[in-house]
Amino acid sequence: MPRSAQSGQGADAALYERSGAAAYGVSTDQFVDILDEILRKYLPKEPSLKSTHTAPDQSMERRASFCNGLRLEELALARACAAGNERAWQDFISRYRQKLHNMALRITRDAAHAAELADSLFADLYGVNARDGRRNSKLVSYTGRGSLEGWLRTVMAQEFINRYRKQKRTVSLEEQTEEGVQFAAAVPEPACAADPRLEAATDEALAELSPEDRFTLASYYLDGRTLAEIAHELGLHESSVSRRLDRLSIGLRKRILAGLRMQGMSHAQAAEALETDVRDMRLNLRSRLMQDSDAKTFPENKVQAQDAGDGSAD
Amino acid sequence: MTEVPKIVYDRLRAAPPERATLGQTVRESVHPDADLLTAFAERALSAAERDGVLQHLALCRDCREVIALAHSDASAAAAPTTAGTESVRAPVPAKSRWSWLSSPKLAWPSLGWAALAAGVALAASVLLLHPGKLKQATLSSANRRVAPSALPAGPQTTSAPGVSSPGLLSPTASAPTTSLSANQFSVPPNAASVKTRAMQTKPELGPSKKIKAVPPLAVQPGMMLADNRKASIPGHNRAAVPSPAASAFRSEEPGSRNVTQNVEVAGAAVGVAVAPSPENTLMAQNTAPAIEKAKPPLPETAVPETTVNESQKTAGVAASPEVRLYGRDVMSAGKRAPSSSQPSAPNVAWTITAGVLQRSQDSGQSWQNALRADHPLLCYATRGAEIWAGGQAGTLFRSADNGLTWVRVQPSIKSQTLTSDITHVDILGPMDIVLSINNDESWSSKDGGKTWAKK
């Protein structure tokens, strides 16, 4: 047998043992299959562990380090649950059932929906398909790249957004009007179009930004996240984010001006094109920012309250 | 504040759909899967993958929101015990998730709440002096949610104040402010966690409680204690019996002199930092009933549930917005307070998971299957030791011993058996059961399930 395949097997065994999959009734082969599947997903160009082709040692190393970076124990637990292993379910429930509720509370900030969300996700995870009794668990898609708890949170947040946010979005307009919210420019921008040259220059400037910069801008200006939140998401210090935003806003202005001038505007014209907007912007930005960016939350509340309204004395 | 030219803002929003090649693992126009997003948030991605995800996130509001919802407080959430952390983090950001606090919705209330509270105070004082009316009010609003008697300690369905039912109703009747101020943080999470375990039960003392609880509340938080003394309604000197905790320590001691003590006791028992604020105050008024219903004879601390504590810490001490939010919904939560966990065993909780009725004897730490029927169960209701569970295809079971043994009930009307799904069960009284059916019918029985009538 080629050496690489041998060492591959040795690596498999080590991974298998670390995962503790045996305790959940998962065999080595099954586990390796799972790893293969994950590898194929994330490192599509890499041969699988089981491949009999001679694999260069380097890529063996990469595979090994990739696998080592996975959450093997959680992966084993999740996949064992997906397969219906009782012991796995006991462990899962004891570790995560209550967490699901807590997560739901944090996400929905609403006791009524939290219970529904948590229970419904749990049902999805449990995955019993009533019809043919076969298990169809969501856990089968967990790949161990992040923690299981984090994954559960993410899935729950996705579910929440699908379920409640979408609902909210359709009513947000009326709701907000009723509540007297200053709708400012949260509404689709009127087509009093900006100068197309301005648009083009801006698009170009934005396109040149790094993904992280764009993400920072979008988070801050579109979503209204705080510096602290953005810093947390990016793993940066709050002051770094603040500096970055400053740098970006100055840099963008410069770039746009340069772009406009390249399109034939004089400096004065370019500056004017931008200046006018900035003044408007200040107005809009402030009102937008003061009007909580999470204004959407409360129309949602209202909707929820109405939903729960049968019993609510509100 | 940093500003960008408006045009930048416009173009950010009008960003084109995500472009091609966002990285190996993220295919064009597809959201990164939960694993990638999680790994991103936990910084477990390679640089290239991270860039790819960021590229998508820069253009996709939904995914950004997922990240923010799921992972923004990761550090705080991971250590639910650090309640202080949460409360510190939350209010700090000017424009945070909690920024909705400053939303217009809360702007109007300052005036509105005062007016509302005043009005309710008036109504409440009237109602309190006329228990009969209150009961009616209870039932009428109850009808919407059903199961008035799915209350803890069944017999005490009377919502009249002054009923000396163990720690349950009396505290709420009289106890408003002190309990509220003390409990404002404990209340919501308790109610919430309690509710999550018994979603299906739908008690509805909620509305009535609210009315009762409100009167002394029409004040500033700082004034609460003092007010309680003044505001104790004549002939209603139970004003001193605030929280379940307090009531456990000395139940039903009248007299405002006990107010402070009770509050302290309650405060200590609860062990949660109280940060008074108008929202919390008002919140509390709505939630107190719920919590008190949920945990009558037990001091809050004595309730061992890690569930309660955890959610207390994670959800409770968090900034006022959360508390406030609970107010509205704990109202409904309050109505759903699990009567089940009360009289028989304080730590018993119920839930339905994947069609199976499960029971926990240890407040949710571990669950055992209590009833598995040939069709998935969809709902349950408890009243004392009595439990009804309904499900698909007319499945209906009843237990009189808190779920140890079960008897099948076949609702039928004129020898036509029920075959549709039972989506809701309500126990209105000892023999009074109402089933909601998924075809919009409502079946009720007055004799404990022997005979039925359709509405």
Taking the C-alpha atoms of residue A70 and residue B99, their distance in angstroms, rounded to an integer, is 37
Which residues sit opposite B424 in a β-bridge?
A: B436
**Is residue A173 one of the residues assigned to a domain?**
no
Q: Do B332 and A289 touch (CB under 8 A)?
A: no
Query: What pLDDT score was predicted for residue A134?
Result: 63
pTM tops 0.80: no
Using the CB atoms, write b or e for A29-63: b if 16+ within 10 Å.
ebbbbbbbebbebbbeebbbbeeeeebeeeebeeb
| Residue A185: how many other CB atoms lie within 10 Å | 20
Which chain B residues are closer than 8 Å to A144 by Cβ?
35
Q: Do A123 and B354 touch (CB under 8 A)?
A: yes
**Residue A168 confidence class, pLDDT cut points 50, 70, 90:** low
CATH at residue A270:
1.10.10.10
Q: Do A223 and B61 touch (CB under 8 A)?
A: yes
Domain boundary residue among A98, A131, A166? A166
**Is residue A305 one of the residues assigned to a domain?**
no
Residue A194 gets which letter from DSSP? P
Amino acid at A222: L
CA-to-CA separations, B30 to A157, A163, B50, B59, B453, in angstroms, rounded: 17, 19, 15, 12, 53
pLDDT in tens, A195-249: 788 888 888 999 999 999 999 999 999 999 999 999 999 999 999 999 999 999 9
Query: What pLDDT score was predicted for residue B280?
Result: 42
Query: What pLDDT score was predicted for residue A183?
Result: 44
A63 and A114, same domain (yes or no): no
For chain A, strand residue ranges (E) read: none
Q: Does B148 touch chain A (CB under 8 A)?
A: no
Q: What is the mean pLDDT of residues A102-124?
A: 90
Of B66, B72, B80, the CB nearest to A158: B66
pLDDT in tens, B329-345: 434 443 444 444 344 56
Query: What pLDDT score was predicted for residue B56?
Result: 92
CA B178 to chain centre: 20
Q: What was the ipTM of the complex prediction?
A: 0.78
Closest CA to B193 of A218, A194, A101, A144: A101
Of A44, A69, A312, the CB nearest to B331: A312
Specify the 3-state DSSP secondary structure of A210. Answer: coil
Domain boundary residue among A166, A200, A225? A166
Structure tokens at A201: 């220059």
Closest CA to B198 of B403, B410, B411: B403
CB pairs under 8 A between A and B: 344
Query: What pLDDT score was predicted for residue B355?
Result: 85
Pairing of strands B356-360, B453-454: unpaired
The parent domain of residue A64 ranges over 3-70
Which residues 107-166 of A have a C-beta within 8 angstroms of B?
107, 109-116, 118-119, 122-123, 126-128, 130, 141-147, 150-151, 153-158, 160-161, 165
C-alpha distance from A130 to closest chain B C-alpha (Å): 8
Query: What pLDDT score was predicted for residue A277?
Result: 58
A280 and A204, same domain (yes or no): yes
A59 and A91, same domain (yes or no): no
Which residues sit opposite B382 in a β-bridge?
A: B387
**Is residue A228 one of the residues assigned to a domain?**
yes
Specify the 3-state DSSP secondary structure of B104. Answer: helix
Closest CA to B67 of B77, B57, B59, B78: B57
Q: Which residue of B has its CA nearest to A95?
A: B365
C-alpha distance from B437 to closest chain A C-alpha (Å): 17
Amino acid at A292: D
C-alpha distance from A294 to closest chain B C-alpha (Å): 6
* Structural domains counted in chain A: 3
Query: What pLDDT score was predicted for residue B113?
Result: 67
Q: Does A293 touch chain B (CB under 8 A)?
A: yes
Specify the 3-state DSSP secondary structure of B361. Answer: coil
A41 and A90, same domain (yes or no): no
Which chain A residues are closer than 8 Å to B15 by Cβ?
206, 218
Specify the 3-state DSSP secondary structure of B387. Answer: strand
Find out whether A111 and B192 touch, Cβ atoms under 8 Å.
yes
Which residues 43-82 of A have a C-beta within 8 angstroms of B?
43-44, 69
C-alpha distance from B332 to closest chain A C-alpha (Å): 5
Instruction: Give the dihedral sign, CA B204/B207/B210/B215.
Output: negative
A11 and A89, same domain (yes or no): no
Query: What pLDDT score was predicted for residue A12?
Result: 85
Residue, of A191 and B70, whose pLDDT is higher: B70
Find out whether A165 and A300 touch, Cβ atoms under 8 Å.
yes
A157 and A200, same domain (yes or no): no
Closest CA to B146 of B193, B196, B212, B207: B207
Taking the C-alpha atoms of residue B284 and residue B330, their distance in angstroms, rounded to an integer, is 10
**Is residue A28 one of the residues assigned to a domain?**
yes
Task: Give the fold, CATH level 3, of B349-454.
Answer: Neuraminidase (2.120.10)
CA-to-CA separations, A93 to A100, B42, B366, in angstroms, rounded: 10, 23, 7
Taking the C-alpha atoms of residue A130 and residue A140, their distance in angstroms, rounded to an integer, is 18
Structure tokens at A153: 């949170």
> Which secondary structure element, helix H or strand E, spans residue B422, and what is its range?
strand B422-429
Phi then psi dihedrals of residue A237, to 5 deg? -85, 150
A192 and A251, same domain (yes or no): yes
pLDDT in tens, B197-206: 444 444 444 3
Structure tokens at B13: 């929003």
Q: Do B42 and A232 touch (CB under 8 A)?
A: no
Query: What pLDDT score was predicted for residue B337?
Result: 40
What are the sequence ranges of the domains in chain B? 6-72, 102-338, 349-454
Q: Do B54 and A211 touch (CB under 8 A)?
A: yes
A204 and A162, same domain (yes or no): no
A112 and A145, same domain (yes or no): yes
A47 and A101, same domain (yes or no): no
**pLDDT reading at A133 higher than 80:** no
Residue, of A23 and B129, whose pLDDT is higher: A23
Of A107, A126, A242, the CB nearest to B353: A126
Q: Do A180 and B108 touch (CB under 8 A)?
A: yes
A151 and A230, same domain (yes or no): no
pLDDT in tens, chain B (455 residues): 567 887 888 888 876 544 433 333 444 457 899 999 999 999 999 999 999 999 999 989 889 999 999 987 644 444 444 333 333 333 334 444 444 444 444 445 556 666 666 666 676 666 666 655 544 544 444 444 444 444 344 344 343 444 344 433 333 434 344 433 434 443 344 444 444 444 444 444 434 444 443 444 444 444 444 444 444 444 444 444 444 444 444 444 444 444 344 434 433 433 334 444 444 444 434 444 444 443 444 443 443 444 434 444 444 344 444 334 333 443 444 344 444 434 456 678 888 888 889 888 877 778 888 888 888 899 999 888 889 999 988 999 999 888 888 999 989 888 888 889 998 999 988 889 999 998 888 999 998 888 899 87
Closest CA to B2 of B95, B89, B66: B95
**Is residue A62 one of the residues assigned to a domain?**
yes
- How big is chain B, counted in residues? 455
**Is residue A50 one of the residues assigned to a domain?**
yes
A91 and A161, same domain (yes or no): yes
